Amino acid sequence: MIFQIPDTMPDEHYRAINIHGFINLCLFVAFAVILINFAFLFIAKAKKQEIKSAKRIKLSFAIFGFFYALTRIFFILMFQDFTNPDQNYDLFASLAYSCGMIGFLSIIWALERIKYKKKYFFLIGLATTVITIICSGIIIVFIISGVGTTDLRENMLTIIFIGTPISALIIFILYISLIRMSTGIVRKKAIYSLLGLMIMFVGIVMDSQFFLAFEFIPLWIKMDLVPIIIIGGYLLFAITQL
């Protein structure tokens, strides 16, 4: 299965079994804490906004922070010995991607309300999120009921895996549109925000099984550098928006 741990995955991924694993785990725990702290900061900023659109977008960034923090927490739990990853890997993966999709959907909703009168991209994002959550629910039912690996289960996991890049693409399109239609400080913020998100998404791709399974890539890049890229991208995005 694509969501089962590949044989070539580093044992250090989210696991403090050596210095690289310790750095990797600590950085991702720190990332979850950073996301939650910025979520509270965005809520505080939203309360001070008098313009509805500004309040809405700050709240959407807060929602993203809370739910993507949960995503990272579930990813961390996915690899810990005490969570029995051989049996519960799919469970935590499903929960992680579901939370991530809700977070991305909040950004899509806020950006499209600024750019468009009709919510085309929001509806696509909503449909993708709903499908992801439904598939996650099916996986959880499989696990609770003790049903083994099936073709249907594999298909559900594949759909969940595809949801994130769809949301990322929609956010990219919306930010490009916002940059083209805006000027001054709004345009500058949009450019830096998009740059931060792109860096973050590059880091997320590098943290995927596909990238981590390549044995020729040095361990320090996989374990030490990748979380720094993700955190750096998010900080550029978040600080720009405060």
Spatial separation of the C-alpha atoms in residues 81 and 76, rounded to whole Å: 11
pLDDT band at 93 (very low <50, low <70, confident <90, very high): confident
pLDDT in tens, 170-202: 888 888 888 888 888 888 988 999 999 999 999
Most confidently modeled range among 36-50, 86-100, 141-155: 36-50
| Consecutive H or E run containing 46 | helix 19-48
Among 43-52, 93-102, 145-154, which is the least confidently predicted range? 145-154
Q: What is the mean pLDDT of the chain?
A: 85
**Angle at the Cα of 196 (from 191 to 201), degrees rounded to 5?**
125
pLDDT band at 150 (very low <50, low <70, confident <90, very high): low
Spatial separation of the C-alpha atoms in residues 144 and 98, rounded to whole Å: 18
The tokens describing 212, both together, are 């981590």
pLDDT in tens, 30-75: 999 999 999 999 999 999 988 887 888 899 999 999 999 999 999 9
219, pLDDT greater than 80: yes
Alpha helices in 151-208 (DSSP H): 151-181, 184-206
- Say what angle helices 52-77 and 19-48 make with each other, to 10 degrees: 160
Mean pLDDT of 108-130: 78
In the chain, the percentage of residues whose pLDDT exceeds 70 is 89
Which of 107, 168, 173, 102 is CA-nearest to residue 131? 102
Residue holding tokens 């961390």?
A: 76
Contact indicator for 208, 165 with CB cutoff of 8 Å: no
DSSP 3-state percent helix, strand, coil across the chain (nearest 5) = 80, 0, 20
Residues written for the chain: 242
Q: Which long-range contacts (CB under 8 A, 24 or more apart) does 70-73 make?
A: 70/95, 70/96, 70/99, 71/96, 71/97, 71/99, 71/100, 71/103, 72/28, 72/31, 72/32, 72/35, 72/96, 73/32
C-alpha distances out from residue 182 to 6, 175, 186, Å? 45, 10, 6
The tokens describing 199, both together, are 């860096």
19, pLDDT greater than 50: yes
Which of 236, 242, 105, 121 is CA-nearest to residue 178? 121
